[in-house]
Structure 1
Protein backbone atom coordinates (compact mmCIF):
# COMPACT_ATOMS: atom_id res chain seq x y z
CA UNK A 1 0.00 0.00 0.00
CA UNK A 2 2.78 2.45 0.89
CA UNK A 3 4.62 1.94 -2.43
CA UNK A 4 1.40 2.52 -4.35
CA UNK A 5 0.62 5.56 -2.18
CA UNK A 6 4.08 7.02 -2.85
CA UNK A 7 3.69 6.48 -6.60
CA UNK A 8 0.26 8.13 -6.55
CA UNK A 9 1.67 11.06 -4.56
CA UNK A 10 4.54 11.49 -7.03
CA UNK A 11 2.11 11.61 -9.98
CA UNK A 12 -0.16 14.00 -8.07
CA UNK A 13 2.74 16.28 -7.15
CA UNK A 14 3.64 16.75 -10.82
CA UNK A 15 0.06 17.75 -11.58
CA UNK A 16 -0.18 20.20 -8.67
CA UNK A 17 3.18 22.01 -8.65
CA UNK A 18 6.32 22.27 -10.75
CA UNK A 19 8.47 22.60 -7.64
CA UNK A 20 7.63 20.06 -4.97
CA UNK A 21 9.05 17.67 -2.41
CA UNK A 22 7.49 14.28 -1.70
CA UNK A 23 8.36 12.46 1.53
CA UNK A 24 6.93 9.79 3.82
CA UNK A 25 5.45 10.61 7.21
CA UNK A 26 6.10 8.59 10.34
CA UNK A 27 2.47 7.51 10.37
CA UNK A 28 2.80 5.86 6.96
CA UNK A 29 1.30 8.65 4.87
CA UNK A 30 2.95 10.72 2.17
CA UNK A 31 3.36 14.51 2.15
CA UNK A 32 3.64 16.68 -0.95
CA UNK A 33 5.24 19.98 -0.02
CA UNK A 34 5.16 23.06 -2.25
CA UNK A 35 7.50 25.53 -0.54
CA UNK A 36 7.13 28.16 -3.26
CA UNK A 37 3.36 28.38 -2.60
CA UNK A 38 3.68 27.80 1.16
CA UNK A 39 1.23 24.84 1.11
CA UNK A 40 1.33 21.10 1.75
CA UNK A 41 -0.89 18.11 0.95
CA UNK A 42 -0.91 14.87 2.93
CA UNK A 43 -2.21 11.50 1.68
CA UNK A 44 -2.74 8.78 4.27
CA UNK A 45 -4.60 5.47 4.22
CA UNK A 46 -7.75 5.39 6.34
CA UNK A 47 -9.25 2.49 8.21
CA UNK A 48 -11.80 2.02 5.42
CA UNK A 49 -11.43 -0.13 2.33
CA UNK A 50 -9.03 1.57 -0.07
CA UNK A 51 -9.84 5.14 0.99
CA UNK A 52 -7.37 7.96 1.40
CA UNK A 53 -7.44 10.78 3.91
CA UNK A 54 -6.36 13.93 2.06
CA UNK A 55 -5.35 16.90 4.22
CA UNK A 56 -4.11 20.35 3.23
CA UNK A 57 -2.34 23.02 5.25
CA UNK A 58 0.04 25.96 5.20
CA UNK A 59 3.80 26.20 5.60
CA UNK A 60 4.76 28.81 8.16
CA UNK A 61 7.46 31.43 7.46
CA UNK A 62 10.09 29.49 9.44
CA UNK A 63 9.57 26.43 7.26
CA UNK A 64 7.53 24.41 9.73
CA UNK A 65 4.13 23.09 8.79
CA UNK A 66 0.97 24.36 10.40
CA UNK A 67 -1.79 21.92 11.34
CA UNK A 68 -4.15 20.86 8.57
CA UNK A 69 -6.77 23.47 7.76
CA UNK A 70 -9.06 21.15 5.79
CA UNK A 71 -9.37 17.47 4.98
CA UNK A 72 -11.45 15.07 2.93
CA UNK A 73 -11.74 11.35 2.27
CA UNK A 74 -11.05 10.30 -1.32
CA UNK A 75 -11.33 7.12 -3.35
CA UNK A 76 -8.04 6.39 -5.14
CA UNK A 77 -10.00 4.53 -7.82
CA UNK A 78 -11.08 7.98 -9.10
CA UNK A 79 -7.60 8.30 -10.59
CA UNK A 80 -4.92 10.90 -10.35
CA UNK A 81 -7.03 13.55 -12.09
CA UNK A 82 -9.84 13.12 -9.55
CA UNK A 83 -7.38 13.35 -6.65
CA UNK A 84 -5.79 16.44 -8.22
CA UNK A 85 -9.20 18.13 -8.45
CA UNK A 86 -9.89 17.33 -4.79
CA UNK A 87 -6.44 18.60 -3.77
CA UNK A 88 -6.91 21.84 -5.70
CA UNK A 89 -10.24 22.41 -3.94
CA UNK A 90 -8.63 21.79 -0.54
CA UNK A 91 -5.71 24.07 -1.41
CA UNK A 92 -8.15 26.80 -2.47
CA UNK A 93 -9.91 26.48 0.88
CA UNK A 94 -6.55 26.61 2.65
CA UNK A 95 -5.52 29.74 0.76
CA UNK A 96 -8.85 31.51 1.33
CA UNK A 97 -8.45 34.46 3.67
CA UNK A 98 -9.97 34.08 7.09
CA UNK A 99 -12.99 36.10 8.04
CA UNK A 100 -11.56 39.24 9.72
CA UNK A 101 -14.57 39.42 12.04
CA UNK A 102 -13.71 36.04 13.58
CA UNK A 103 -9.96 36.64 13.92
CA UNK A 104 -9.11 39.47 16.32
CA UNK A 105 -6.15 41.58 15.29
CA UNK A 106 -3.58 41.98 18.03
CA UNK A 107 -1.39 45.06 18.09
CA UNK A 108 2.17 44.84 19.29
CA UNK A 109 4.36 47.55 20.73
CA UNK A 110 5.69 48.46 17.28
CA UNK A 111 2.36 48.25 15.47
CA UNK A 112 0.68 51.68 15.68
CA UNK A 113 -3.04 52.19 15.50
CA UNK A 114 -4.42 52.37 11.96
CA UNK A 115 -4.27 55.79 10.33
CA UNK A 116 -6.56 57.34 7.82
CA UNK A 117 -3.74 57.51 5.26
CA UNK A 118 -3.11 54.50 3.07
CA UNK A 119 0.65 54.99 2.92
CA UNK A 120 2.59 52.47 4.97
CA UNK A 121 5.92 53.06 6.62
CA UNK A 122 8.81 50.70 6.16
CA UNK A 123 10.80 49.84 9.26
CA UNK A 124 14.25 51.38 9.52
CA UNK A 125 15.93 47.98 9.51
CA UNK A 126 14.32 47.11 6.18
CA UNK A 127 15.64 50.25 4.50
CA UNK A 128 19.25 49.76 5.59
CA UNK A 129 21.01 47.52 3.07
CA UNK A 130 24.49 49.02 2.79
CA UNK A 131 27.84 48.02 4.25
CA UNK A 132 28.05 46.07 7.44
CA UNK A 133 31.21 47.85 8.63
CA UNK A 134 30.95 51.64 8.69
CA UNK A 135 33.70 54.26 8.44
CA UNK A 136 33.78 54.80 12.21
CA UNK A 137 34.40 51.08 12.78
CA UNK A 138 37.30 51.12 10.32
CA UNK A 139 38.80 54.16 12.09
CA UNK A 140 38.66 52.36 15.45
CA UNK A 141 40.27 49.26 13.94
CA UNK A 142 43.10 51.34 12.43
CA UNK A 143 43.74 53.13 15.76
CA UNK A 144 43.90 49.85 17.68
CA UNK A 145 46.24 48.36 15.07
CA UNK A 146 48.45 51.45 15.30
CA UNK A 147 48.63 51.22 19.09
CA UNK A 148 49.58 47.55 18.92
CA UNK A 149 52.28 48.35 16.35
CA UNK A 150 53.71 51.15 18.53
CA UNK A 151 53.73 48.85 21.59
CA UNK A 152 55.54 46.10 19.68
CA UNK A 153 58.07 48.61 18.30
CA UNK A 154 58.81 50.09 21.75
CA UNK A 155 59.05 46.66 23.34
CA UNK A 156 61.49 45.50 20.67
CA UNK A 157 63.57 48.72 20.91
CA UNK A 158 63.77 48.43 24.73
CA UNK A 159 65.18 44.89 24.57
CA UNK A 160 67.66 45.69 21.83
CA UNK A 161 66.34 43.04 19.47
Structure 2
Protein backbone atom coordinates (compact mmCIF):
# COMPACT_ATOMS: atom_id res chain seq x y z
CA UNK A 1 0.00 0.00 0.00
CA UNK A 2 2.90 2.38 0.70
CA UNK A 3 4.04 2.26 -2.95
CA UNK A 4 0.53 3.02 -4.18
CA UNK A 5 0.20 5.77 -1.56
CA UNK A 6 3.47 7.38 -2.69
CA UNK A 7 2.44 7.25 -6.37
CA UNK A 8 -0.93 8.77 -5.53
CA UNK A 9 0.79 11.52 -3.52
CA UNK A 10 3.17 12.33 -6.42
CA UNK A 11 0.26 12.64 -8.88
CA UNK A 12 -1.76 14.67 -6.38
CA UNK A 13 1.15 17.01 -5.66
CA UNK A 14 1.63 17.77 -9.36
CA UNK A 15 -2.09 18.48 -9.69
CA UNK A 16 -2.22 20.81 -6.68
CA UNK A 17 1.04 22.77 -6.77
CA UNK A 18 3.86 23.45 -9.22
CA UNK A 19 6.35 23.75 -6.37
CA UNK A 20 6.11 20.96 -3.83
CA UNK A 21 8.09 18.48 -1.76
CA UNK A 22 6.90 14.92 -1.19
CA UNK A 23 8.39 12.80 1.58
CA UNK A 24 7.53 9.74 3.65
CA UNK A 25 6.59 10.01 7.33
CA UNK A 26 7.84 7.65 10.01
CA UNK A 27 4.34 6.28 10.43
CA UNK A 28 4.19 5.14 6.78
CA UNK A 29 2.21 8.07 5.43
CA UNK A 30 3.25 10.58 2.81
CA UNK A 31 3.43 14.38 3.23
CA UNK A 32 3.16 16.96 0.47
CA UNK A 33 4.58 20.37 1.43
CA UNK A 34 3.77 23.51 -0.52
CA UNK A 35 6.26 25.99 0.93
CA UNK A 36 5.11 28.82 -1.35
CA UNK A 37 1.53 28.58 -0.04
CA UNK A 38 2.57 27.70 3.55
CA UNK A 39 0.37 24.56 3.58
CA UNK A 40 0.88 20.81 3.88
CA UNK A 41 -1.18 17.73 3.10
CA UNK A 42 -0.69 14.31 4.65
CA UNK A 43 -1.89 11.00 3.18
CA UNK A 44 -1.86 8.05 5.58
CA UNK A 45 -3.44 4.61 5.66
CA UNK A 46 -6.80 4.67 7.44
CA UNK A 47 -8.71 1.92 9.20
CA UNK A 48 -10.10 0.31 6.04
CA UNK A 49 -8.16 -1.77 3.55
CA UNK A 50 -8.40 0.72 0.68
CA UNK A 51 -8.94 3.90 2.72
CA UNK A 52 -6.60 6.82 3.27
CA UNK A 53 -6.74 9.62 5.80
CA UNK A 54 -6.12 13.02 4.24
CA UNK A 55 -5.13 15.82 6.61
CA UNK A 56 -4.28 19.44 5.85
CA UNK A 57 -2.48 22.07 7.90
CA UNK A 58 -0.25 25.12 7.85
CA UNK A 59 3.49 25.59 7.69
CA UNK A 60 4.57 28.08 10.34
CA UNK A 61 7.42 30.57 10.22
CA UNK A 62 10.69 28.72 10.44
CA UNK A 63 9.37 25.70 8.53
CA UNK A 64 7.68 23.84 11.37
CA UNK A 65 4.24 22.40 10.75
CA UNK A 66 1.16 23.25 12.74
CA UNK A 67 -1.25 20.46 13.71
CA UNK A 68 -3.82 19.44 11.14
CA UNK A 69 -6.85 21.71 10.96
CA UNK A 70 -9.04 19.50 8.81
CA UNK A 71 -9.17 15.90 7.66
CA UNK A 72 -11.16 13.47 5.52
CA UNK A 73 -11.17 9.76 4.71
CA UNK A 74 -11.35 8.59 1.07
CA UNK A 75 -10.75 5.45 -0.91
CA UNK A 76 -7.25 5.07 -2.34
CA UNK A 77 -8.78 4.02 -5.65
CA UNK A 78 -10.47 7.43 -6.00
CA UNK A 79 -9.37 9.35 -9.09
CA UNK A 80 -6.68 12.01 -8.71
CA UNK A 81 -9.10 14.76 -9.73
CA UNK A 82 -11.52 13.86 -6.93
CA UNK A 83 -8.65 13.58 -4.44
CA UNK A 84 -7.42 17.01 -5.53
CA UNK A 85 -10.92 18.48 -5.07
CA UNK A 86 -11.09 17.06 -1.54
CA UNK A 87 -7.60 18.40 -0.77
CA UNK A 88 -8.54 21.85 -2.08
CA UNK A 89 -11.60 21.86 0.19
CA UNK A 90 -9.46 20.88 3.19
CA UNK A 91 -6.89 23.53 2.30
CA UNK A 92 -9.65 26.14 2.02
CA UNK A 93 -10.88 25.17 5.50
CA UNK A 94 -7.30 25.48 6.74
CA UNK A 95 -6.94 28.95 5.19
CA UNK A 96 -10.27 30.14 6.61
CA UNK A 97 -9.10 29.90 10.22
CA UNK A 98 -7.22 32.61 12.10
CA UNK A 99 -3.49 32.86 11.46
CA UNK A 100 -1.44 31.52 14.37
CA UNK A 101 1.14 33.99 15.65
CA UNK A 102 3.58 33.94 18.51
CA UNK A 103 2.29 37.23 19.94
CA UNK A 104 -1.35 36.14 20.11
CA UNK A 105 -2.37 35.04 23.61
CA UNK A 106 -3.25 31.40 24.04
CA UNK A 107 -6.89 30.44 24.43
CA UNK A 108 -7.88 29.88 28.04
CA UNK A 109 -7.95 26.27 29.09
CA UNK A 110 -11.26 24.96 30.28
CA UNK A 111 -11.50 23.33 33.66
CA UNK A 112 -12.03 19.59 33.82
CA UNK A 113 -15.47 18.34 34.81
CA UNK A 114 -14.42 17.41 38.36
CA UNK A 115 -12.72 20.78 38.87
CA UNK A 116 -15.73 22.61 37.45
CA UNK A 117 -18.07 20.76 39.81
CA UNK A 118 -15.94 21.72 42.79
CA UNK A 119 -15.86 25.33 41.65
CA UNK A 120 -12.14 25.71 41.11
CA UNK A 121 -9.90 26.09 38.12
CA UNK A 122 -7.90 23.23 36.67
CA UNK A 123 -4.23 23.46 35.96
CA UNK A 124 -0.87 23.45 37.71
CA UNK A 125 -1.27 26.54 39.82
CA UNK A 126 -3.83 24.93 42.12
CA UNK A 127 -6.04 28.02 42.36
CA UNK A 128 -3.23 30.39 43.40
CA UNK A 129 -3.61 33.87 42.00
CA UNK A 130 -0.54 35.23 40.26
CA UNK A 131 -0.27 38.99 39.80
CA UNK A 132 1.51 38.80 36.45
CA UNK A 133 3.95 41.55 37.40
CA UNK A 134 7.53 40.44 37.13
CA UNK A 135 10.87 41.84 38.15
CA UNK A 136 10.98 44.34 35.27
CA UNK A 137 7.73 45.96 36.37
CA UNK A 138 8.93 46.43 39.95
CA UNK A 139 12.34 47.73 38.78
CA UNK A 140 10.61 50.46 36.75
CA UNK A 141 8.35 51.37 39.67
CA UNK A 142 11.39 51.62 41.97
CA UNK A 143 13.20 53.87 39.46
CA UNK A 144 10.21 56.21 39.13
CA UNK A 145 9.78 56.43 42.90
CA UNK A 146 13.53 57.07 43.32
CA UNK A 147 13.53 59.86 40.72
CA UNK A 148 10.50 61.47 42.35
CA UNK A 149 12.13 61.29 45.79
CA UNK A 150 15.39 62.70 44.43
CA UNK A 151 13.62 65.64 42.78
CA UNK A 152 11.67 66.43 45.96
CA UNK A 153 14.86 66.24 48.03
CA UNK A 154 16.82 68.48 45.64
CA UNK A 155 13.96 71.02 45.57
CA UNK A 156 13.89 71.18 49.38
CA UNK A 157 17.68 71.53 49.69
CA UNK A 158 17.95 74.41 47.17
CA UNK A 159 15.20 76.46 48.74
TM-score (norm: length of structure 2) = 0.61
List alignment gaps of at least 5 residues for structure 2.
Answer: 106-159
C-alpha offsets along residues 76-104 of structure 1, whole Å, 9 cap, x if unaligned? 222111100000000000001339xxxxx
List alignment gaps of at least 5 residues for structure 1.
Answer: 100-104, 108-161
Aligned pairs, how many? 102
Distance across 2 between alignment mates of 1:62 and 1:98: 18
- Give 2:42's aligned residue: 42
Shift of 1:75: 1.2
Distance across 1 between alignment mates of 2:84 and 2:35: 18
- Give 2:79's aligned residue: 79
- Kindly report structure 1 stretches of 4+ aligned residues shifted beyond 3 Å: none
Distance across 2 between alignment mates of 1:78 and 1:9: 12
TM-score (norm: length of structure 1) = 0.60
Distance across 1 between alignment mates of 2:75 and 2:15: 18
What is the root-mean-square deviation of aligned Cα atoms in Å?
A: 1.7
